[in-house]
Amino acid sequence: MDIITNSNTQKAEINPKETLVFLHYFGGSAQSWQWVIPLLQKDYHCVALNLPGFGGEPALPEPSIGAFTSFITQKLEAMNLESFVLVGHSMSGKIAVDMAANDPNFAIRQLILVAPSPPTTEQISEENKQQMLDHPNRQQAENTVKTITLKPVTEEQRELIIQNNLEADPQTWNWWVLEGSGHSIAEDTAHLFLPITILASEDDPAISFESILGECMPHLPDAKLVTIKGVGHLSPIEVPEWLAGEIKRCLVGEGF
């Protein structure tokens, strides 16, 4: 990858290529994109961020959707990134939408949302919430790999998913399960006027396709939906070639 930022902010080198900023899923890290970015970095400048509380990045003292948005914005400004395409996966899909809705400088040229948590309230049953709150727990992390993926993953990928899960900050983890996932930003999305593409699996066991159709599409003006079947929630790991190809199509389609 061109850049993965952790606790130390790095300035992006002057690069004439279009910049893609990648945000990871809940319980993941910047490394979750390591199978996608090599397929894109020849043509695009790729930046993957560890979000607070994940991938070794220190947690926020009081996590919130707005605090995550401010953290990412400050990171990118420190790297002198004034214009970029934002790619958000799962939890970061909601955060990416919040960033775009609060982007006075119009730095975000396009949103690409991968299996996004909806801008409304993410529907998680009380039983699932209690299971998710059992953290850190290796058995639970191993079960997560089984339940949210449908395609085979390599041992390296499996171990990364587990380790990212176990290393997540407990306070941040509980905040997302109990508050962040249920925080609606739908009222802020009506004025979004930028290209938006949602890339989703019709068989996703974590963010259901019904949620994509009922909770995402109606609240994201003119969003384009691209789907795949037989893939779980972790498409950046399960089908990186498909995902990279669709990201390229989004960019070429917008004339980038």
- The CATH number of residue 15's host domain is 3.40.50.1820
Tokens of 218: 């109606």
Q: Is 218 exposed, middle or buried (CB count within 10 Å of its CB: 0-12, 13-18, 19+)?
A: middle
Domain containing residue 42: 3-253
pTM of the shown model: 0.93
* pLDDT (tens digit per residue) in 10-34: 444 444 689 999 999 999 999 999 9
Asked if the peptide bond before residue 136 counts as cis, ω within 30 degrees of 0, the response is: yes
Number of structural domains found in the chain: 1
CA atoms within 13 A on the CB side of 175: 19
Residues in the chain predicted with pLDDT less than 70, given as ranges, are: 1-16, 136, 254-256
Please report the pLDDT score of residue 3 as a whole number: 45
Please report the pLDDT score of residue 218 as a whole number: 95
Q: Is 133 exposed, middle or buried (CB count within 10 Å of its CB: 0-12, 13-18, 19+)?
A: middle
CA dihedral 253, 228, 48, 173 (to 10 degrees): 140
* pLDDT (tens digit per residue) in 157-206: 999 999 999 999 999 999 999 999 999 999 999 889 999 999 999 999 99
